[in-house]
Amino acid sequence: MTEIKSYAYDHIYVSKPVLEVGIAGHEIIEGLLKAFVGAINQEYYLGSTSKSRMLISFLPDQFLGKNRKLDDDPYIRILKITDFISGMTDRYAVHVYQMISGVHLTT
């Protein structure tokens, strides 16, 4: 088992396709967090912008406070966004990332 683990770490986990997916995954997670946390912080601290309103409107009710108002506690606000993103499937996360970054538009 030790030899299998060693081989996997040396040859499989560092293969180009695995690294490409891993790097893309990190970019997607970072992009989603930046967009949605940025939107709730913009809305809470600085006021609405068109983009922050659209991103917040995209969030399902359970990831916002009562009556879709933002929670006063910043920890709770960020926790809800993290919960939203962590519940996404890989395919849906890619779709949302492409949508908010303008890479893919649905009509």
Residue-wise pLDDT tens digits, 53-100? 999 999 999 999 999 999 999 999 999 999 999 999 999 999 999 999
**Rounded distance between C-alpha atoms, residue 29 and residue 78, angstroms:** 14
Q: Residue 89 is encoded by which pair of tokens?
A: 């499937």
Cα→Cα distances 45→38, 40, 61, 75, 106, Å: 10, 8, 20, 14, 31
**Rounded distance between C-alpha atoms, residue 67 and residue 105, angstroms:** 29
What pTM does this model have? 0.82
